[in-house]
């Protein structure tokens, strides 16, 4: 596709449920990033993937958060046992290689009731 896509665009879930968010990066982009953005706040780095290298998970806030990426394609961010404080917009970005300009998807707005 022409840009980074994410699905779903909106997700409403009940506290304690698991959710899975999907990101399709720009074709050919080796680097993929997940960020969290709380309402009215800046970007909080979550995780970074570069090709087949081990991901940098240093930004994941707890062990309820995990992410996977197969090769240089789709990534999924999974949040287990969701809490109300997980409510935020989750943004995915990709870049041609590490350190380059990042291109963002439209985000998934997660609401935990």
Partner 1 sequence: ELKVEQNPLFLSMQEGKNYTIYCNYSTTSDRLYWYRQDPGKSLESLFVLLSNGAVKQEGRLMASLDTKARLSTLHITAAVHDLSATYFCAVPGDSNYQLIWGAGTKLIIKP
Footprint of partner 1 on this chain (CB under 8 A)?
Answer: 31, 41-43, 45, 48, 50, 56, 91, 93, 95, 98-99, 101-107
- One DSSP character per residue, 43-107 reads -EEEEEEETTSPPB-TT--STTEEEEE-TTS-EEEEE-S--GGG-EEEEEEEESSTTSPPEE---
The answer to whether the beta carbons of residues 57 and 49 sit under 8 Å apart is: no
Q: Which is nearer to partner 1, 14 or 39 (CB)?
A: 39
Instruction: Output the smallest distance, CB 81 to partner 1, in A.
Output: 27
Give the span between the Cα atoms of 74 and 17, in whole angstroms: 23
Q: Which is nearer to partner 1, 82 or 94 (CB)?
A: 94
Q: Which is nearer to partner 1, 8 or 16 (CB)?
A: 8
Instruction: Output the smallest distance, CB 107 to partner 1, in A.
Output: 5
Instruction: Output the smallest distance, CB 70 to partner 1, in A.
Output: 19
């Amino acid at each position: 596709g022409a840009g980074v896509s994410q699905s779903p665009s909106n997700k409403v879930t009940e506290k304690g449920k698991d959710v899975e968010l999907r990101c399709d990066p720009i074709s050919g982009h080796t680097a993929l990033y997940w960020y969290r953005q709380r309402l009215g706040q800046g970007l909080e780095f979550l995780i970074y993937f570069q090709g087949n290298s081990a991901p940098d998970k240093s930004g994941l806030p707890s062990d309820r958060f995990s992410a996977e990426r197969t090769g240089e394609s789709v990534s999924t961010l999974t949040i287990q046992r969701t809490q109300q404080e997980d409510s935020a917009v989750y943004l995915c970005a990709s870049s041609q290689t590490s350190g380059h300009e990042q291109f963002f998807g439209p985000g998934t707005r997660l609401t935990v009731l």
